[in-house]
Every structure is written in structure tokens, then in C-alpha cells.
Amino acid sequence: MPRRFAALLALVLSAPAAAQEPELAELTFGFIKLTDMAPLAIALERGYFAEEGLEVTLEAQANWRVLGDGVLSGTLQGAQMLAGQPLAAALGYDSDAPIVTPFSMDLNGNGITVSTEVWERMRPHVPSLPDGRPQHPISARALAPVVQAFRAQGRRFEMGMVYPFSTHNYELRYWLAAGGLHPGLYAPEDPSGQIGADVFLSVTPPPQMPATMAAGAIHGYCVGEPWNQAAVQRGIGVAVITDYEIWPNNPEKVFALRADFVEAYPNTTRAIVRALIRAAMWLDADDNANRTEAAEILSRPAYVGADAAIISASMTGTFEYEPGDVRAVPDFNVFFRYNATYPYYSDAIWYLTQMRRWGQIAEERDDTWYHEVAARVYRPDIYLDAAQSLIDEGLAAATDFPFGSDGYRDPVTLLDGIPYDGRTPNAYIDSLPLGLTGTERLSNGEVVPE
């Protein structure tokens, strides 16, 4: 356990829990039109922000870069963010100010969708269940013959993801690599991420994914809901795998603030986290009993702005892979159970390992470096302070939170059968097929040892 975290945790557990007035009450938070912005919408609509003395305005943003710029400039005091964004900022990408996260917004929630044309070509390579439906999870090995056919025709196989430092980018890359398809490398002189690629990935804003695929500009994509279900219901795409099948209960979005905001306004920060924890608890209460109501709230134009039925298709415990193929996926969206809201260092380190694997971190770093970066950005001390105050007021139970955790989840095995342990990041990187390992780096587009 990092010494700073241990000391702060001791202070948290010994401090009086009396509520304190927020130093700054009027706040504007940014979000992207995705189902997993739900804790923000629920905290506002159910009055949790107001009960914490906060007057919050939620503003939809055009894309993740615009959202990040809003937090950096101070026009947004906080935002739903891709988990990789605050980490990228810590490494000096797209930022001149440190960003921290005291709250993880959800687990799971993404899918990979291909066009109906691509699916028709993949389907002969996918095993079937006795009832004739495709057997899941579907490996990217079924996509490999399609990619090869495109190459033989002189065509690039293009897929969309939402941002270079997004969960979606790394999940899509993980799925492709597990199936033997290279998703390309990044280099300091070439930030395209397409060096040596079999499949060429590019950025498309989430709400534009279905239309971009329908127009033929991309042949598939990885995105959060409701934009996989939207393609299925329009009959233009088939969802081939969810991120739950890639990594069960994987971390997704975070709520992020500038580090100097957190230092200047500790009471305000505590109030924000308290409200978000309460919203997450409501979203998962009574075996998801509130999800239909949540889907109606999210369907409003001010939030996700998609039909409530499309949002409900995944948010209420099912997922439709192709028209008529509806399967139970009770944990497709998780907002509180499994300690979903706790900002684990090991979650941060997984993203850093993928940045290193694909060249966004250009050179080898020792294990200590990964732990130190994670501890700078992820702030479980702030989270546990807010959680303890809710417990003291009878609004939550101590058993709802991982007090005593060292900040690392137990090792977990992903889709490719390779176990991940955040305590040993370099050993994990070196166990992965494709991508950079050890001291490897890129020079003039070629992988070379240092």
C-alpha cells in the first residue's frame, strides 16, 4: 500500500464525519451521450446533488477531446471521462494540468459491432449452438478471413473507436490481438496508431458510429451503449462481443476533476462523491429494479437522447447481439456492486500497460513507475472519506465499501486466457501476444530492442 494512501486512510477513519458546507456550490459537469453517464443524471434528477448543497448543471459535449479541454480550462468543473484520459494527462498528453479521479463510474457497458456485410462473411467461421445461434464469445479469428479478403482486394479494413486513450480503443485492440490481428502501433513521430496494422483504427464520436458505419466509412466499431443496440435495431450491424466477455467486470468511465480543484475545494469534492455514490447505489438497488426508470430518464434529450427501448435493451440485464438474438447479460451495466465505484490502482495500471503495449508509452518503465502514476491520478482516499461520511449518517453500510483494500483487485483472467495482476505490470506486458514488450521501442516504423 503506498505510504501516502495509508496515512490519508488513517486520517479518514479517525476524523469526525460531520457534514461540512461545500466551498463552491454552483458547478457545471460535462458528459458524452452514453448510457454510463447515468450516475450524473440520477444524482441530479433524484436530488442527491441538491441534498449535498450543490447546484449542478450537466452539459453534453461534442466529443472526448472537447470534454477534456473543458475540464482543463475550468469551463467544466468536472466530467465523466474515459478512464485513460486522466492517465494520459499525467503523462503529458493533451494537458498542461494534472487531473485526478476519486470515483469510478461503472463496470462493463461496451460492445464491438460489425456491419451486416462483414457479419455475413464472419458467420461461417463462428461455431454454432445446438439451436443454431452463434456461440459466444466470438473470437476475432472469425474476422481474420474477412480482413484477408479486403487486403486481397486492395482495401483497408477500417474500424472506429472513440478516442486514442479510451477503454474502447484498448478493448478493441485486445480483442483483435487475441484473434491474431494486429491493430497497429503508436510512435512519438506517428500518433496514428496504425503502424504495422492489419485492422486500421480511427476516432469516431459515439453517437455518429452507426451512421458512419452505414455510410461505409468504417466496417465496425467499439463503443458504449446505446450505440451498439442502435445499429442492431436499425438492421445495419451485429454486435459480436461485449466487453464483459473480454474482461468480466472491467472498469469503464471515471468522474474526473482537476487536481487543483480537489485541493482548493475539499468539501465540495466530498459532496460530489457522496452524491455520485448515492446515485450508483440507486442504480443497482434491488437487483436493478430501478433500471427501467433510469432508462426513461436517460432517454431525455438533455442526457442520452435515444429511445428508452434502445437504452433498456442493454441496461435492464439483456443484450441483443443481432435482431431476435436477445440474451441475458445481467452485469452488462454495473454501477455499484462489485465495488464498481472504488478507484482501484490496478484499474489504472491496466490502462497504462495497454499504453505501453501499443507504443503510447514509448519506452520501458519499471513496475514502481506504474504504481506511482496510478497513485497520483486515482484517489481512493477521497472516495473512502465520502463513503465513511455516508456510513456515519446511516445512508450506506460499511460492508458496501472495500475498507482495508490496498488498492489492487485480485488477479483476473481475460478473454485470451492470460491472467492480469496489477501488482506486476511488466510481467503482464511481457506475457501478451503482439505489441511491444520488454525494452522494445519503435524506430522508423520498425520494432527494435533498446
Amino acid (1-letter code) at residue 388:
Q
Confidence of residue 446 (pLDDT cuts 50, 70, 90): confident
- Secondary-structure class of domain 3-106+251-413 per CATH: alpha beta
Distance from C-alpha of 380 to C-alpha of 34, rounded to nearest angstrom: 25
For residue 296, pLDDT over 70 is answered with yes
**Average pLDDT rounded to a whole number, residues 224-233:** 95
Q: Where are the domains of the chain?
A: 3-106+251-413, 110-249
For residue 191, pLDDT over 60 is answered with yes
For residue 44, pLDDT over 60 is answered with yes
SS3 state at 60: strand
Q: ∠ at Cα 120 (119, 121), nearest 5°? A: 90
Do 194 and 184 meet the contact criterion of CB atoms below 8 Å apart? yes
pLDDT of 343-389, one tens digit each? 999 999 999 999 999 999 999 999 999 999 999 999 999 999 999 99
For residue 237, pLDDT over 90 is answered with yes
The burial of 248, by beta-carbon neighbours within 10 Å (0-12 exposed, 13-18 middle, 19 or more buried), is given as middle
Q: What are phi and psi of 106, to 5 degrees?
A: -175, 170
pLDDT at 20: 84
pLDDT at 16: 38
pLDDT at 96: 67
**Average pLDDT rounded to a whole number, residues 432-437:** 95
For residue 415, pLDDT over 90 is answered with yes
Q: Answer whether 3-106+251-413 and 110-249 agree in fold.
A: yes
Confidence of residue 332 (pLDDT cuts 50, 70, 90): very high
Whole-number Cα distances in Å, 74 to 105, 140, 442: 21, 41, 36
Do 59 and 29 meet the contact criterion of CB atoms below 8 Å apart? yes
The burial of 96, by beta-carbon neighbours within 10 Å (0-12 exposed, 13-18 middle, 19 or more buried), is given as exposed
User: Omega before 191 cis (within 30°)?
Assistant: no
- Secondary-structure class of domain 110-249 per CATH: alpha beta
